[in-house]
Structure 1
Amino acid sequence: MDSSVAIFSRFRRPTQNTPLSQLCGSKRLFRNRYKVLQTLGRGGFGVTYLAKDVSLPGSPECVIKQLCPKVNNPAILQRASERFEREAKTLAQLGSHAQVPQLLDYFQEQGEFYLVQEYIRGVNLAKEVRNVGPLSELAVKRFLREILPVLDYIHRNQVIHRDIKPLNIIRCEDDGRLVLIDFGAVKEQIVEVDDMTQRGQSTQFVGTVGFAPPEQISLRPVFASDIYAIGMTCLYLLTGRPPMEFDCDPLTGEIMWESMLHLSDHFGKVLSKMLKCSVVDRYQSAEQVLRALELEPYLDKLADCMNTKTRSHESEAEAVEAPRYLSPIARRAQEIRDWRSRLLAKQRTRKNLVSPV
C-alpha cells in the first residue's frame, strides 16, 4: 500500500480491527470465497491484504484492497458508489495490459469499497535499490524505455496515475517485466463531501509528497504530472536518495540534483526537462520523452543537417580552407550543388562563344 499523504482527508484511518484483519490466518472465508492470509500494507486510504481465491482451481493468490471512505449521508454514499463503479470499470479496462494488474472483482459491503486484483509476485524498485544499490545511467534509460510505453497506454485511456514512485513499480519475479500498481485515480474519484452545507467542499490530495509536482499538490493534476513523478523515480534509482533529501532552488523551486550525478549531456537535459516545476516547461507526454531518448544515437548527424544559418562568402571561403566533417547526405548535397555550379558556368561560357560580335 502507498504512503500517500492526505490533506483534510475524507477517508477515515483504517483501524486494526477491520473485518478482513480479523479473518487473517483463520479458516473463515471473506464473502465465502477469499481466504485472507496477511496484511500487505496500510495507509491513509485503506488496507491491502494478500488472499487466496478458493473458488478457482489451484486457489490462486490475489490482492484485496479495502478503501475506507468516511461517508454518513446516504445520498453522498450513493454518489461515491457510482464513482467507484465507474473507476473500477476503468481499472478493468487498463488491466488488459500486461504491465498493469488485472482487476478480478470489485464490490461494496457495509459502506466499504473493495477491489480484488491479481497478485504480482516480485520486488518493488525501492527494495531493489536498497538491495543492489543505485542503478547506472544505462539501466535507468532501460527502465524508461520499459515504463514509458505503459504510461502512454494509461494516458491514452484518459487516466492519470497520480502516485508513481519506486514502491509502486514491481519487477515481476517470473519474467522480469515492470508492473505499475496502486492507481491513485480510483481513490480520488470516490471521495465526496459528507456535509457540504456545514463544512463546504474539503480538499483531498492523492499522491506522495516529493514525487508529486506542484500542480498535483494544488489539486490540479495533469498527464504531465506523471512525467514529473517518473523523473523523480529516475533520481531515486540513480542515487538511492528519496526526494526530500534533495535541495531546491529558493528562487525557482527546481530540484538541485545536477551536482550529485555525472550523466551524459543529452540524458541530463532529458531528465531536467522531466523535472521542471512549471507544467509548460515539462514534457507533455510519455511519447515525447521516448522520442527524446531515441534521438541520442543520431545527435551528431542531426546537428549538421539541422544547421539553418546562412553562410556569407567569407565564411564559405574559410570552410574550404578548414574542411570539417560532413555526413554522407550533406556530402552528396554539396556535390550536387558543385555540379550545378559547374554546369551553369559551362552554359554561360558556351553562350558567350556563340554570341554575335
Structure 2
Amino acid sequence: MNRFSQKITNSQESILQQTQLGQMCGSKKLFRDRYEILQILGKGGFGITFLAKDAVLPGHPLCVIKQLCPKVTNPKSWEKACARFEKEARTLAQLGSHSQIPMLLDYFQANGEFFLIQEYVPGLTLAQEVRRNGPKSEAFVKQFLQELLPVLQYLHKHNVIHRDIKPQNLLRCEYDGRIVLIDFGAVKEQLVNTYENSITANTNFIGTRGFAPPEQFSLRPVYASDIYALGITCIYMLTAKSPLEFDYHPNTGEICWQKELNITDSFAQILGKMVKVTLEDRFKTADEIIKALSYANYLPTLANCLTTQKLNNKSITQYENYNKTPDVYMPPVARTANAIRKLRARMK
C-alpha cells in the first residue's frame, strides 16, 4: 500500500501552482528530460518532496525527488552552498549502500535550487501504523530497537547524526518488512549554515519539537541526540501519544511517561536512560543500548537460577570470603546468584 495520500491540501495546491516541478505534476512533460512528476509528497521548512517516475530506466521505476531551497543570492554564499551540498550529497551516497537507508540515485543543482533523487521505498511509516492499529507491545518495540540500533551504529561510525528520527521518518517496506530510515537532516543543516543573514543561520533548528533533545535546540547535536529521539519514538509507539501530549517534570524538564505504560522494570530503565535530558545521564552510543537490551532479555532466565535456600553461618562466611578472595571455592549456584546481583547493580 502506498504510504502517501492522494488527497491534495490547500498548501500542496499552492506548491503545485508556484513551483516548476509542481506545474509539471500530472503532465507528460519530463523534468531534465528524464523524470515524470507524479505527485507531491510533502513540504518542509527547507524544501519540497515529489514522487516521480524515471522514464529512462527500463520498467520506469518510481523515485523520490527532494527539492531543497537555500535562501542565498550572494555569489560567494551560493558557491559555499554548492560546496556544502556536494559534500553532504556524497555522504548520503555512501550511506545509501545500507539496506535500511534509501539509495541516493543522483544529485544536482539547477536554477538556484538543489535536487536529490532517491530510491522510492513503498510502505507505511510507523506513525501511520500506530494510527491505524493502535499502540505497540513491549516485545514489538524491543524488536524494533534490535532492527534500528545497528543503523544508528552505522551512521555514527560514518560521523553522521540523523537529527530528525521520529515515527514519520521510519518506514516499514511493504516488500520485506524491513525498517528504513528516511529524510536525513544533515543536508538541510549544511544549507541552513549558508544563509546570508547570520541571525537566521544561528536560529534555524533542524529537527522536530518533542523528539529533539535540548542540545539540538541549542544547535549542538551529538550522537546521543539521535538516541534521545529514538527513545521518544519508542514511547510514542507504546502509547500512541505525541510527546507534546505528555506533562514534563518542572525541575528536570524530562517527559513524564512512566504512568502511561505497563512494561517490565528493566525495559523502563532502558527507555528512561535513552530520554534523559542531561547528556551525562543518557546512553552515549547505540552499543550501550544493545548491551543493556541483551542483559534485560537474559535477566528473567538468570533470575530462575537464584537460590531461595537460607545460608548457614559456614556458607555466609564462605560467601564473604569469596567476595574478598577469588581463590576460595564457591558453589555454582552461589556464584550465579552473586553475578546476577552485580549485574542488576550495574544496570541500576
Q: TM-score, normalised by structure 1?
A: 0.81
Q: Which residue of 2 is the match for residue 354 of structure 1?
A: none
Q: Distance in 2 between matches of 1:334 and 1:236?
A: 41
Please list the CA deviations of residues 39-69 of structure 1 after superposition, one character each: whole Å capped at 9, or x if unmatched.
0111111100000111100110000000011
Which amino acid is the alignment partner of residue 192 of structure 1?
N
Q: CA deviation at 1:297?
A: 3.3
Counterpart amino acid of 2:275?
L
SS of residue paired to 2:65: strand
Give, as a single letter, the amino acid of the residue that structure 1 aligns with 2:113: E
Map of 1:349 onto structure 2 = none
Q: Give per-residue Cα distances to partners, 1:85-129, cap 9 Å, x unaligned.
A: 000000000000000000000000011000000001000000000
> Aligned partners of 1:91 and 1:231: how far apart in 2?
24
Indicate the SS of the match to 1:190: helix
1:226 matched residue in structure 2: 226
CA drift at 1:190: 1.8
Residue 295 of structure 1 aligns with which residue?
295
Aligned to 1:183: 184
Q: Which residue of 2 aligns with 1:159?
A: 160
Alignment partner, residue 193 of structure 2: 192
> How much identity, in percent, do the aligned residues show?
57
Q: Which has the higher contact order (CA 8 A, sep 6+)?
A: 1
2: CA distance between counterparts of 1:25 and 1:15? 10
After TM superposition, give the deviation of residue 296 of structure 1 in Å.
1.6
CA shift at 1:208, angstroms? 0.3
Match of 1:121 in 2: 122
The equivalences for 1:296-311 within 5 A come to: 296-299=296-299
Shift of 1:191: 2.1
Shift of 1:24: 0.2
Structure 1 unmatched ranges of 5 or more: 2-12, 306-310, 320-328, 336-357
Which amino acid is the alignment partner of residue 257 of structure 1? W
Corresponding residue for residue 206 of structure 1 = 206
- Aligned amino acid, residue 218 of structure 1: S
Counterpart contact for 2:81–2:194, Cα < 8 Å:
no
* Structure-2 change in CA distance of 1:170 and 1:196 (3 Å): closer
In structure 2, C-alpha distance between the alignment counterparts of 1:127 and 1:300, rounded to whole Å:
33
Matched residue count: 310
Question: 1:140–1:238: 8 Å Cα contact kept in structure 2?
Answer: yes
Task: Give the direction of change, closer, same or farther, for the CA distance of 1:334–1:63 in structure 2 (3 Å limit).
Answer: closer
> In 1, are the aligned partners of 2:283 and 2:289 still within 8 Å (CA)?
yes
CA distance in 1, matches of 2:318, 2:250: 47
> Which secondary structure does the structure 1 equivalent of 2:192 belong to?
coil
Unaligned 5+ runs, structure 2: 4-13, 306-310, 320-328, 336-348
Q: Tell me the equivalent position of 1:107.
A: 108
Distance 1:318 1:92 in 2: 61
Secondary structure of the corresponding residue to residue 235 of structure 2: helix
**Residue 32 of structure 1 aligns with which residue?**
33
2:22 counterpart residue number: 21
CA distance in 2, matches of 1:240, 1:161: 23
Q: Distance in 2 between matches of 1:31 and 1:193?
A: 26
Q: What does residue range 1-357 of structure 1 map to in structure 2 within 5 Å?
A: 16-195=17-196, 202-299=202-299, 316=316, 331-332=331-332
- Partners of 1:227 and 1:243 lie apart in 2 by 15
The ranges of structure 1 where at least 4 consecutive aligned residues each deviate by more than 3 angstroms after the TM superposition are 13-16, 192-197, 199-202, 300-305, 311-315, 332-335
CA distance in 2 between counterparts of 1:278 and 1:271 reads 14
Distance 1:233 1:330 in 2: 45
**Structure 1 equivalent of residue 322 of structure 2:** none
Cα root mean square deviation, aligned: 2.8
Do the aligned partners of residues 179 and 330 (structure 1) sit closer, same or farther apart at CA in structure 2, a change above 3 Å counting? farther
How far does residue 300 in structure 1 lie from its aligned partner after superposition? 6.0
Contact 2:166 2:233 in 1 (8 A): yes
Structure 2 partner of 1:344:
none
Counterpart-to-counterpart distance in 1, 2:200 and 2:297? 55
Q: Equivalent residue of 2:73, what SS? A: coil
TM-superposed deviation, 1:333: 8.6
Output the CA distance in 2 between the equivalents of 1:296 and 1:17.
Answer: 53
Greater Rg over alpha carbons, structure: 1
Query: Could you tell me how far apart the structure 2 residues matched to 1:244 and 1:95 are?
Result: 32
**TM-score of the superposition, structure 2-length normalised?**
0.83
Structure 2 CA distance for partners of 1:333 and 1:255, relative to 1, 3 Å = closer
SS in 2 for 1:202: helix
State the shift of 1:332 in Å.
3.8
With over 3 angstroms needed to count, the CA separation of the structure-2 counterparts of 1:285 and 1:312, relative to structure 1, is: farther
Q: Distance in 2 between matches of 1:35 and 1:194?
A: 31
Tell me which amino acid in the other structure corresponds to 2:52.
Answer: A
